[in-house]
Chain A
Amino acid sequence: MIEHETSAERLRQSDERFRFMVENIKDYAIIMLDPSGNVSSWNEGAQRIKQYQAGEIIGQHMSAFYSAEDLAGGKPARLLREAMAAGRVEDEGWRIRKDGTRFWADVILTALRDGSGSLIGFAKVTRDLTERRASEEATRLSEERIRLMIQAVKDHAIFMLDPEGNVASWNEGAQHIKQYRAEEIIGQHFSRFYPEQDVLAGKCERGLEVAARDGRFEDEGWRVRKDGTLFWANVVITVIRNPEGALLGYAKVTRDLTERRLLEDEKVRLAQAQEAIRLRDEFLSIASHELKTPLTAMQLQLQSLLERVKAVDGHVASRLGRAIRSGARLADLIETLLDVSRIATGRLELSPTKFDLSEAIGEAVERMSGSAAQAGCPIDTRIQPGVTGIWDRVRIEQVLANLLSNAFRYGAGMPVTIILKSDGAKAQLEVFDEGPGIPETDLSRIFERFERASSTRNYGGMGLGLYVTRQIVDAHGGSVSARNRKDRGAAFTVVLPLAPEPVARVEPKPPKELR
């Protein structure tokens, strides 16, 4: 009896300790429910997690912990039924604290039965997994964001290959660059992005092998779009392994560098073209010097011979005169060819200085009086004095010489008129001849290269003078035009700003020898 009492006492003490332990557990809500689901015991953990005091929750139904949706769905009753049927049920989901806030709960509901099997209630153990869930959710969201981001990238094709090289995922950029939609390419081998000869050469396998061995493989080359066109691709294949090192597949990032490649090709071609131009310039410069050297010697000899025979043999003198004029024409042609070359290569450089155009024209006319006499063209000048501006004197004199020799050529035997005037902002130079005029169809193109209004048989020259004239005038920010005069002949008009904003480069440059 005593022994029995002692045993009962021990059991009572043990129950007491167990109850004390459960009551004090803080991390788990451990509560008892009666068979209908009403709370019959409460511990520290329950109070901490669900915020109710034992006194205010004991006797209440466990549905107090569920959200309105769960209640509407009959979740508490269902869980009790399942626990009764299976002995135990586990659930994860949102539960409601006393203050109405939610927490993510892991709940284990165990049916309790006495020795005879009658249901005496339920044990309910609840853990608050809100923080863990938040971190899991954060991970999930971040993975989702990365996935969406990769999905949305348009400039890079980013996709996965399985270990065999079949496409396993696809993004916007891949569709944009390679033109396949995800549904038509996933599952296909990536060799279809390579030109046939690369596939036959085993380039695809080699890429995967290198990536598997070294972790990464990079390549640049032509790849094929769905429509069969090629694009210049930069490709990086990265191996993907699980933590244990097993091959999961490959990540492939492809960029379309076609434009960059074309740009580089373009640069190379440009450099080659510039080099060709430089060589041509050099050649022309040397050729011009070489051509002028014997011409200089020849002209001097002819001129001195002419001088000697002039008094004694008029016939020989006249023939020498012709030879000298031919030499002079040759010299002019060499200069013109050089000018055309300079213009064509954008090197018509001006050396502007301030000078009196009225005087310069007077002097130029004086210099050309021989040619005028030879062409039988009396020159009538109507020059406003003191027209001063900033121009390249040599070039402007060249313009006048070109216009005059044009007038002598087409208006031979008739007077040529030169008019210069200024309105204070611009100088206007006009040259009139009394030749046949310019056919209407030619008016628009006589300033183009290699255009000439008359046939070669009738007139000499290469038709470059007016082209050079226009380039010089343009470089000064001026304009030149041609028209037919009402009565007869052609009129050429050059308009030059007095203080030009030149189109061509005008920074002072040292002569070639000093560079």
Chain B
Amino acid sequence: MGKLQVLVVEDDVEIREAMLDVLADHGYAAAGAVNGRDALEKLEKGPVPSLILLDLMMPVMDGRAFREEQLRMPSLAQIPVVVVSAYHDVAEHSKVLNVEAHLKKPIIMDELLQVTRRYCC
């Protein structure tokens, strides 16, 4: 498998595909996961991305549970995470989850690209 820059963890297929499209348009190697569990499995198989864009409200394993699992695994703990959520208080969630940054839905494309650029040189 080739180089992976961004893993988009998002249960809504339209949002996931739109984010992947935008990222692809701008030349990023991006892959999607449909929930936290799926993301962990993909991460364990590798390759390891430079950035994880993480939705919070997802079935099977939500963003919070994923973040806890991630931080428990030394091989994955260092991957920067940016939370992407529709929560009004997404800033607070991000603080509690100790992530790099957050984007509020609906996402502004420029902000998405800006934050991606910061972690994927």
Contact = CB atoms under 8 A, between A and B. Distances in A.
A360 to B, nearest CB: 13
A511 interface: yes
A298 B14 CA distance: 8
B16 to A, nearest CB: 8
A250 to B, nearest CB: 66
Contacts of B88: 335, 338, 394
B9 interface: no
Interface in A470-515: 510-514
A422 to B, nearest CB: 25
Nearest to A303: B109
Interface string B74-89: 0000000000001111
A301 interface: yes
B106 A292 contact: yes
B24 to A, nearest CB: 10
A307 interface: yes
Given A513-B62, A514-B64, A301 B18 contact: yes
Given A301-B18, A307-B25, A510 B96 contact: yes
A290 B7 CA distance: 23
A351 B18 contact: no
Contacts of B87: 511-512
Nearest to B63: A513
Interface of B: 12, 14-15, 17-19, 21-22, 25, 56-57, 62-64, 86-89, 91-93, 96, 105-110, 112
Interface in A285-300: 288-289, 292-300
A453 interface: no
B96 A511 contact: yes
Contacts of A292: 86, 105-106
Interface residues of A, number: 28
Contacts of B25: 304, 307-308
B96 A293 contact: no
Interface of A: 288-289, 292-301, 303-304, 307-308, 327-328, 331, 335, 338, 351, 394, 510-514
Contacts of B107: 296, 299-300
Contact of A296 (B63, B93, B105): B105
B18 A293 contact: no
B106 A331 contact: yes
A288 B14 CA distance: 17
Contacts of A514: 64, 96
B22 A304 contact: yes
A443 to B, nearest CB: 31
A304 B109 contact: yes
A496 B51 CA distance: 39
17 contacts: A293-B15, A295-B105, A296-B105, A297-B14, A300-B112, A304-B109, A307-B109, A327-B106, A331-B106, A335-B88, A351-B91, A394-B91, A511-B92, A511-B96, A513-B56, A513-B62, A513-B93
B57 A301 contact: no
A300 B17 CA distance: 10
A394 B93 CA distance: 13
